[in-house]
C-alpha cells in the first residue's frame, strides 16, 4: 500500500474525515476485532492450488509484492512495486502456498524484463501497472496456471463479488505492519466492488480515476494491505476467473468507509497486448446485469450523474466479432476450477 505517497494536504483532510467517521462509527457499533491469524486483513488461508496464477515477487529472497501469471512467461503486477526497470535481484515464485516452510509445488524464475507503464504517476498512482517477463516459460500444473484478464469495456457493477489474494500485512502500520504467522500461508478475502463514484466520494473526489476500480466492505475489517500490492483481484463469470484489478493503494487498510483502490485491468488490454506478440493472454469481457447503482450516486464535488435515456440498450457498444483473436486466446486461461471449498 502506498499510504506514504499520499499528498500531505489530502492526507490531513482525510484524517479529519476519518476521525469523524470513526467517532460516528464508534457510536453505532462495537469495534471490530481481527483475530491475528487472519491476514490480508479479515481473510483466511487459501487452500493449495485455489489461486494458481498468484505469484510472489521477491527481491534478494524476500517477498515484496504479489502478481499474477497471464501466460507461460508473463506476469502482471503494480508499477509502484518497482523503483526502476533493473531486473537485478528479482525473482518470481510460482505455485507457492507459503512464504516459509515447505512448498512442494513451487517453481521460480528470474526476471528477464520489467516494463512499467509509461504514464504511471507515483503521486496519484494512476496507471499503476507493470509487466514482467520470466527468464524462461513455465509449464502449467494444477498449481501454476494463468488467469483471464478483463477485456476492454468490461463492466463491474457496484457489489460485484470479488476475491483478493496475497501474502500482505495482517494489519496496517507502516514499517511495523504485522506480517503473517508462520508458515505465512497465502490469504484470500472476499470483497464487493464499490462503484467509482461512491469510491471517489469516500476516498476524496479526484483520487479515483477511470483507470482504477475499488472494492471493500464499507463497515471495514476486510481489505488488502501492504505486501499484497501488485496482486490480483478476481471475479468469477460462469466457470472462469477474470482479473478485474491489481492491488494498488488505499488510505490505511480495512478502515471503515475507505475501500481499497485497484488498477482497472480492462483499461490496459491494448497496452498489455503491445508487448506480448505471441501467446497473447486470455481476455474475457466481463458483464454485469442490470443498471449500476453507482451511476446515480453523488456527493459535493463530483460531476452530476449522466442521465441516460432508457430507449437505447446501453451506452457501451456491444462486443463485436472483430475481437476474435482475444476470444480465441481466452480459451488459454479457461481451466477447470480447482478451488476447494
Ligand X SMILES: *[C@@H]1O[C@H](CO)[C@@H](O)[C@H](O)[C@H]1NC(C)=O
Q: Which residues bind ligand X (CB under 6 A)?
A: 158-159, 192, 194-195, 198, 218, 293-294, 297
CA atoms of 190 and 287, how far apart (whole Å): 19
Angle CA 218–219–222, to nearest 5:
85
Q: Quick check: bond before 161 cis, omega within 30?
A: no
Nearer to ligand X, 66 or 221 (CB): 221
CA atoms of 241 and 248, how far apart (whole Å): 20
Q: Using CB atoms, what's the residue nearest to ligand X?
A: 293
Nearer to ligand X, 24 or 293 (CB): 293
Nine-digit cell at 340? 476447494
Residues belonging to the active site: 80, 128, 229
Shortest distance, position 216 Cβ to ligand X, whole Å:
8
Shortest distance, position 290 Cβ to ligand X, whole Å:
12
Strand, coil or helix: 183: coil
DSSP 117-149: -TT--TTT-TT--EEEEESSPPPP-SS--PPEE
Shortest distance, position 53 Cβ to ligand X, whole Å:
25
Shortest distance, position 299 Cβ to ligand X, whole Å:
11
Question: What phi and psi, each to the nearest 5 degrees, are found at residue 306?
Answer: -80, 120
Nearer to ligand X, 146 or 259 (CB): 259
Nearer to ligand X, 188 or 294 (CB): 294
Nine-digit cell at 174? 507502516
Amino acid at each position: 500500500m502506498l499510504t506514504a505517497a499520499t499528498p500531505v494536504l489530502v492526507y490531513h483532510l482525510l484524517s479529519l474525515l476519518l476521525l469523524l467517521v470513526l467517532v460516528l462509527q464508534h457510536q453505532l457499533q462495537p469495534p471490530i476485532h481481527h483475530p491475528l491469524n487472519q491476514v490480508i486483513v479479515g481473510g483466511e488461508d487459501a487452500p493449495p492450488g485455489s489461486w494458481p496464477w498468484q505469484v510472489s515477487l521477491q527481491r534478494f529472497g524476500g517477498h515484496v509484492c504479489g502478481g499474477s501469471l497471464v501466460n507461460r512467461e508473463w506476469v502482471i503486477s503494480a508499477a509502484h512495486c518497482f523503483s526502476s526497470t533493473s531486473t537485478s535481484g528479482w525473482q518470481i515464485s510460482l505455485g507457492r502456498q507459503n512464504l516459509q516452510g515447505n512448498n512442494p509445488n513451487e517453481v521460480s524464475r528470474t526476471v528477464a524484463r520489467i516494463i512499467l507503464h509509461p504514464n504511471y504517476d507515483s503521486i496519484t498512482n494512476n496507471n499503476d501497472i507493470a509487466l514482467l517477463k520470466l527468464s524462461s516459460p513455465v509449464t502449467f500444473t494444477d498449481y501454476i496456471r494463468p488467469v483471464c484478464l478483463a477485456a476492454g469495456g468490461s463492466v463491474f457493477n457496484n457489489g460485484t463479488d470479488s476475491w483478493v489474494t496475497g501474502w500482505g500485512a495482517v494489519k496496517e502500520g507502516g514499517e511495523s505492519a504485522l506480517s503473517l504467522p508462520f508458515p505465512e500461508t497465502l490469504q484470500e478475502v472476499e470483497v464487493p466492488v464499490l462503484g467509482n463514484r461512491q469510491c471517489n466520494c469516500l476516498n476524496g473526489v479526484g483520487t479515483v480515476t477511470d483507470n482504477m476500480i475499488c472494492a471493500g466492505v464499507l463497515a471495514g475489517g476486510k481489505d488488502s494491505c501492504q505486501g499484497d500490492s501488485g496482486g490480483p483481484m478476481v471475479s468469477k463469470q460462469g466457470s472462469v476467473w477474470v482479473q478485474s484489478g491489481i492491488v494498488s493503494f488505499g488510505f490505511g487498510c480495512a478502515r471503515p468507509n475507505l475501500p481499497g483502490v485497484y488498477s482497472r485491468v480492462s483499461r490496459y488490454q491494448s497496452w498489455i497486448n503491445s508487448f506480448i506478440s505471441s501467446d497473447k493472454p486470455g481476455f474475457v469481457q466481463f458483464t454485469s446485469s442490470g443498471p449500476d447503482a453507482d451511476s446515480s450516486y453523488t456527493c459535493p464535488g463530483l460531476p452530476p450523474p449522466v442521465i441516460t435515456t432508457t430507449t437505447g440498450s446501453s451506452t457501451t457498444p456491444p462486443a463485436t466479432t472483430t475481437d476474435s483473436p482475444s476470444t480465441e486466446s481466452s480459451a488459454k486461461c479457461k481451466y477447470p476450477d480447482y478451488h476447494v471449498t
